[in-house]
Amino acid sequence: MSQDALLLVEGLKVIFPTDAGIIKAVEGIDLAIHPGECLALVGESGCGKSVSSLAILGLLGTPPALVRAQTIRFDGQNLQALNEQQMAQIRGKDIAMIFQDALTALNPVMSIGRQLDEVFLKHCGMNKSQAKEASIEALRAVGVSSPAQRYRQFPHQLSGGMRQRVLIAMAFAASPKLIIADEPTTALDVTIQMQVLEELRAMQRKSGTALMLITHDLSVVNYLADRILVMYSGKIVETGPVKQILKRPAHPYTEGLLTSVPRLDTCNTRFYQIPDQVPNPMNKPSGCHFHPRCSYAGELCKQTMPSLRSLSPQREVRCHFPLQKGEGGDSQHA
């Protein structure tokens, strides 16, 4: 499984030492993305999903962050061994990123055309006029209307949906092998969200790019992703194929996430909420980090952190009392 992975991450840990204590943002996660696949990283804000992606690309400032990992391998290369200059060759060309808030993610004093050109100039060996043509073409490809005009405009002159399309165009510009999309539609209106998602899916299908989708929105996951990886408080709590997990979640946290999504197809008028909040990353609960919020928690959960164990060949869960019985699991609910 890990041999043919495009991106393989093992034991990724990120901490932020501060004067008030050490923030444990990511506590050792493993993930693998295969060519053309869409992997969704799901969790509440503050669970460490964005930090993980920035750490993989070497975009976290050190300081303030400290990053450790056993393996970060992309396409046969050990990313940890590369210097900043070599990393810059990979960013944008082999791995591109789409950020959440397109207004702050675009340089306000540069025309969007110039910002797109930069990618073509840097990675595709084009000259200025070729880059301009390619940029206009890229804008057209993501459904930006009158791309030649938009090329000259500045980010503040575009609508939110248009800006997000610009970011998508920018990410696909150098036909990367992997795109990391960090909450690509969260800042948008629901109607625009759908259009942008469709654009993203079409582009991904067309180019065969692998996608790492970071989101807290399970409907987006359902729409785009093949596999899902649920994170809670810096750890992976459940992973497996989207269909199986959404239908039959094994971790109480995943179940909580699912039942807190309002559904139109059931008559349940009660709206479930996971009680309390994500634990303070400086002072996490003992044992399973989720136990204070978990309705199934037993004495064991307060004392020891469960390890990630396999339920079926494709599914893993980090729970002493998983909700689904797998071949390996033998525990019952307390």
Shortest Cβ 266–another protein spacing (Å): 31
CA torsion through residues 313, 315, 318, 319, sign: negative
Binding region for another protein (CB under 8 A): 1, 11, 13, 15, 17-19, 22, 24, 27-28, 54, 57, 59, 63-64, 66, 68, 84-85, 88-93, 96-97, 99, 101, 104-111, 118-119, 122-123, 154, 156-157, 167, 170, 234, 304-310, 313, 316, 328-330
In the complex, what is the shortest distance from the CB of residue 313 to another protein, in angstroms, rounded to a whole number? 6
Per-state percent for the chain, helix, strand, coil, to nearest 5: 35, 20, 45
User: Least distance to another protein from the beta carbon of 206, Å?
Assistant: 21
Q: Which is nearer to another protein, 43 or 306 (CB)?
A: 306
Nearer to another protein by Cβ, of 73 and 163: the residue is: 163
Which residue, 109 or 267, has its beta carbon nearer to another protein?
109
Smallest distance, another protein to C-beta of residue 102, A:
9
Smaller CB separation from another protein, 73 or 315: 315
Of 221, 223, 224, which Cα lies nearest the Cα of 238?
A: 221
Cβ atoms within 10 Å, residue 173: 25
Helix (H/G/I), strand (E/B), else coil: 165? helix
Closer of 274 and 316 to another protein (Cβ):
316
Strands 7-18 and 21-33: antiparallel
Using alpha carbons, select from 261, 262, 256, 221 the residue that is nearest to residue 241: 221
CB of 145 to another protein, least distance (A): 19
Pick between residue 275 and residue 313 the one whose CB is nearest to another protein: 313
How far are the Cα atoms of 42, 236, 283, 288, 301 from residue 297, in angstroms, in the given order?
A: 22, 18, 19, 9, 6
245 and 315 Cβ atoms separated by less than 8 Å: yes
Least distance from another protein to the Cβ atom of residue 259, Å: 27
In the numeric block, the tokens 């290369």 are attached to: 77
